[in-house]
Amino acid sequence: MNYNVRVATPADASAIQAIYAPMVLDTVISFELIPPTVDDMAARIAATLPTHPYLVAEVEGKVVGYAYASQHRAREAYRWSVDVTVYVDPVVHRNGVGRALYQQLLPLLEKQGFHAAYAGIALPNAGSIGIHEALGFTHIGTYPEVGFKHGQWHSVGYWRKPLCAVTPPIEIIPFSEVEGL
């Protein structure tokens, strides 16, 4: 399949919410307990874009997946680290959507000056582990039984991918100032 990957806009919120809501309700992939509304998703997209990429993948104009980056931690010394997330409509799982999104997202983060990307994966999740490791992420540890959802405890593994290796690091360039997608 051929995917068009582009920067998301708040107008994509309905399609993104439709992909995400079942993940919240029916799985432990997300640790949210109540799906955000379409308005919530639009606000999240708008709040993310000035500083971090938020991308969608489309097939024939239909959004089938999305990926975004977010602040890793609040303390200033963490500013060169970034968290990444990808969600794909189950209808198109294992067709390269997640890979297509990450192949656009990760170079943008490197251009921005981020030193490393981190992904948290609720375990078990062989598909998510597979794509992250195929794209160069390395498992760095697991928080055992860190979240409680659907009546049981769940562990989260963390994976890391090196990005910009400059020392000392450059100042992070806001996404709104980065060209290249």
Domains of the chain: residue spans and CATH: 4-172 (3.40.630.30)
> Of all helices (H) and strands (E), which one includes residue 144?
strand 138-149
The answer to whether 159 touches 121, Cβ cutoff 8 Å, is yes
Beta bridge partners of 158: 120, 141
pTM of the model: 0.95
What tens digit of pLDDT does each residue of 90-138 get? Answer: 998 888 999 999 999 999 999 999 999 999 999 999 999 999 999 999 9
pLDDT-derived band of residue 181, with 50, 70 and 90 as boundaries?
low
d(CA 137, CA 4): 24
